[in-house]
Amino acid sequence: MSDDNYDNDFVTETEGMKGERMEMTVVVFESIEHLRGYDFKTETNTHKPLQRTGSDSVKSRSSRAAVVCLVLLCVLLLTAVIVLCVHIYTNLTEQRNELEIKITNLTEERNELEIKITNLTEERNKLEIKNNNLTEESKTKRDQLINQLSILDEWIYYQFSFYYKSNEKKSWTESRRDCLKKGADLIITNNREEYDFVMNITNKTEFWIGATDIDVDGSWKWVDGSNMTSGFRFWAKGGQVKEPGGGTLENCAVSHSTQWPNIKGWNDVKCNDTYNWICEKSILPLI
């Protein structure tokens, strides 16, 4: 090879290498310029969103619907609880008010009853005091009466009554008048025991008793106005005897009849006839 060709090839190769270096320099400069304009912080912190597929979108919507339903259900439950609480509170308030009214009424009734009880207690105490005073007065009067009548031998005490047996004989009207003067009246026989007592003290003889039908024939009454039909009656009966049997002629009664000594009971006789009499004075009104 000649030197000229060698030199030409060398020059050509050298120029080619220079061209390549120039291209590389341009590429490097372009790369540096590109790097200068790039924001590494933004690139580092910013992530591009991933592209979602169709199934992911459906799942996302289902999850949102479930969350919405759960929230609505919670709201409904909370509303129901609030309404129930309000209803219960309202009922409790009404019941409390009703109970307060009842308690107030009961308290007023209790106070009224306490006042009534207090008044009744005071009245009872007054009545007890009055009764005690009356009892003491009655006892005093009874004792005085007993002392006064016991002085007289003619008066006999028997079952809350004093009896006076006369020693003389008079008509029924005069006999009663004598009893009234003594503060007594002709005897009223109320039971069989009292009748037997009279028979014992009169030795089964005739004594005027306080029975007559002088106002209305057949309507026998005691001297206190009581009707014989409603009380004790003991007219003499036996065999052909049936008292009273005197009609309009015999309008007063005696304790016994000696005409029929074996027959017990009262006998009607003429009021103008004369017999002994028995006066009776009860002490019950004084007790």
CA–CA gap between residue 214 and residue 218 (Å, rounded): 9
The residues that bridge with 185 in the sheet, in sequence order, are 280
On whether residue 279 sits in a domain, the answer given is yes
Taking only the tens place, the pLDDT of each residue in 202-214 is 888 899 999 999 9
Please tell me whether residues 36 and 120 are part of one structural domain.
no
User: How many other C-beta atoms can be found within 10 angstroms of the C-beta atom of residue 211?
Assistant: 25
Give the lowest-confidence range in 42-56, 88-102, 175-189, 249-263. 42-56
On whether residue 81 sits in a domain, the answer given is no
Please tell me whether residues 139 and 261 are part of one structural domain.
no
Q: Which domain holds residue 124?
A: 99-151
The DSSP code sequence of 206-260 is -EEEEEE-SSSTT--EETTS-BGGGS---B-EETTEESS--TTS--EEES--TTS
Taking only the tens place, the pLDDT of each residue in 16-36 is 555 555 555 544 445 545 545
Instruction: List Cβ neighbours of 271 (8 Å cut-off, separation of 6 or more).
Output: 171, 172, 173, 212, 214, 251, 252
Q: Provide the number of structural domains found in the chain.
A: 3
On whether residue 82 sits in a domain, the answer given is no
Mean pLDDT on 270-279:
94
Please tell me whether residues 147 and 160 are part of one structural domain.
no
Q: What rounded mean pLDDT belongs to the chain? A: 79
Mean pLDDT on 149-168:
79
Rg of the chain over Cα atoms, rounded to whole angstroms, equals: 70
Domain-ending residue, one of 90, 121, 151: 151
Please tell me whether residues 147 and 161 are part of one structural domain.
no
Please tell me whether residues 165 and 256 are part of one structural domain.
yes
Please tell me whether residues 144 and 119 are part of one structural domain.
yes
Higher pLDDT, 47 or 271: 271
Specify the pLDDT at position 193.
Answer: 92
Specify the pLDDT at position 16.
Answer: 52
Specify the pLDDT at position 286.
Answer: 61
**At 226, which CATH number?**
3.10.100.10
Please list, residue by residue across 123-138, b when 16 or more beta carbons sit within 10 angstroms of its beta carbon and e when fewer do: eeeeeeeeeeeeeeeb
